[in-house]
Amino acid sequence: MTDNYRGITISPVISKIFEMVIMQLFDDLLTSDPLQFGFKQNSSCNHALFTLKTVINHHVANNATINICALDISKAFDRVDHFALLQLLMDKNISKKFIGVLLDWLTKSFVCVRWGSALSFWYCITAGVRQGGILSPLLFALYMDPLIMRLRALGIGCKLFDKYYGCLLYADDILLMSHTVNAMQRMLAVCDQFAQEFDLKFNGSKSVAMRIGSRYNVTCAPFILSGAELKYVHEVKYLGVYLVAANHFKTSISHTKIKFFRVFNCIYSRSKAASSEIVTVELLKAYCLPFLLYASESISLSASQLYSLNNCINRAVHKIFGIRNAESINDVRRFVGLEDVAKLVENRRLKFIDRLIVSGKHVDLCSAAVHNFS
């Protein structure tokens, strides 16, 4: 049970101010690889998922079957080696004064554990970056950079227009993609070597494999990571989206619908006392729709999936207003501003693509997406 708990550091205000000042002064130097999508301005889960979808669609359209491995690092933030991190900062030619200040700060960090009203003794942190710290995400992203560079230097894995996309990272969420089983095993060997050198540990029981393409259901040799076989699964959860093993890029919405109804039923049971349907509708818009529309702009939803998601809203409206007729439900939705899910998704998708084009950072992905769509 203890593996399900993570300590969150509650830092003093002066420590947070110190971290914010450091981040503002050296933000341009504390940059990580483009394949690390976490903790960056103008980069999000949607960018990582859009990259994943575009790369898979491109290769599947050329009759390839993509091997995917989703890797889990046990307590990644807590295992960061301070001196390995400082060495990486020196390799980036960051000011020695900054590195000296950071070293002094890391070696003088003391914490205690609070459980209820009880406090433990104080002890010094000898490894890891603070979960909940302002600088921690940037430092951890830099710590994972050598893995991306080694995989890119290996030269195997998925590419798009000769640009490497064999691994996608969002903090410690790692996704590997390759055309062949042999190439994937070589990539996993690189991950193993990286983990040994940087004092990280891959969780073999939570790391899984999956295949997407025309040969997705063909039995293949097992992948080995840290001495354990990776289990082949039908579904992989990546950044809150469930990928499905199929002959094309496909996602499951069953978990999305469960979350939507769980939150809606909770809101509905507590908002009945207000005796106002409009209040319940506004709460639905604020707290339920985000679950229903999460990542919809970056993944491809089929017409049947859009219809199913739209029906979730219809059922919610039926429960709020007590109406059954489809025409009446549509009239109520127009009156309260609950648009059709397909229209909401299309608007979000257009805005997302527009931001991608304006940023100019993902021109190759946008070109491949248009080519695959055509």
Q: Where are the alpha helices (DSSP H) in the chain?
A: 13-26, 45-60, 82-91, 96-107, 136-154, 181-197, 254-271, 277-283, 289-293, 303-321, 326-336, 341-359, 363-373
From CA 128, how far away is CA 64, in angstroms rounded? 40
**Strand pairing partners for 124?**
110
Expressed in angstroms, the distance from the first to the final Cα of the chain is 50
| Residue type at 83 in one-letter notation | F
Mutual angle of helices 82-91 and 96-107, in 10-degree steps: 170
The per-residue pLDDT string of the chain (374 residues; one tens digit each, 9 = 90 and over) reads 456 666 677 778 888 888 888 888 888 888 899 999 988 888 889 999 999 999 999 999 989 999 999 999 988 888 999 999 999 999 888 888 888 988 888 888 888 888 888 988 888 888 888 877 888 889 999 999 999 999 999 989 999 888 999 999 998 899 999 999 999 999 999 999 999 999 999 988 889 999 999 999 998 999 999 888 999 999 999 999 999 999 999 999 999 999 999 999 999 988 876 678 899 999 999 999 999 999 999 998 999 999 999 999 999 999 999 998 999 999 999 999 999 999 999 999 999 988 888 877 665 666 666 555 44
The span from the CA of 173 to the CA of 38, in Å, is 9
d(CA 17, CA 282): 37
SS3 (DSSP) at 367 = helix
Q: What is the pLDDT of residue 357?
A: 82
- Provide CB contacts within 8 A for 191, sequence distance 6+: 71, 147, 151, 174, 176, 202, 225
Contact 245, 210 (CB under 8 A): yes
Transcribe 17-29 into DSSP letters.
HHHHHHHHHHTTT
At 177, give phi and psi (nearest 5°).
-135, 135
**In what helix (H) or strand (E) does residue 226 lie, and over which residues does it extend?**
none
Q: What angle do CA 282, 284, 303 make, to 5 degrees?
A: 125
Spatial distance between the Cα atoms of 278 and 275, rounded to a whole number of angstroms: 9
Rg (CA), the chain: 23
Pairwise CA distance, residues 217 & 96, whole Å: 53
Q: Is 263 helix (H, G, I), strand (E, B) or coil?
A: helix
Pairing type for strands 231-232 and 208-212 reads: parallel
CA distance 240 to 293: 12
Phi-psi region of 47 (alpha: psi -120 to 50; beta: other; left: phi over 0): alpha
User: Alpha-carbon distance 164 to 160, whole Å?
Assistant: 7
**Other residues' Cβ atoms within 10 Å of the Cβ of residue 142:** 23
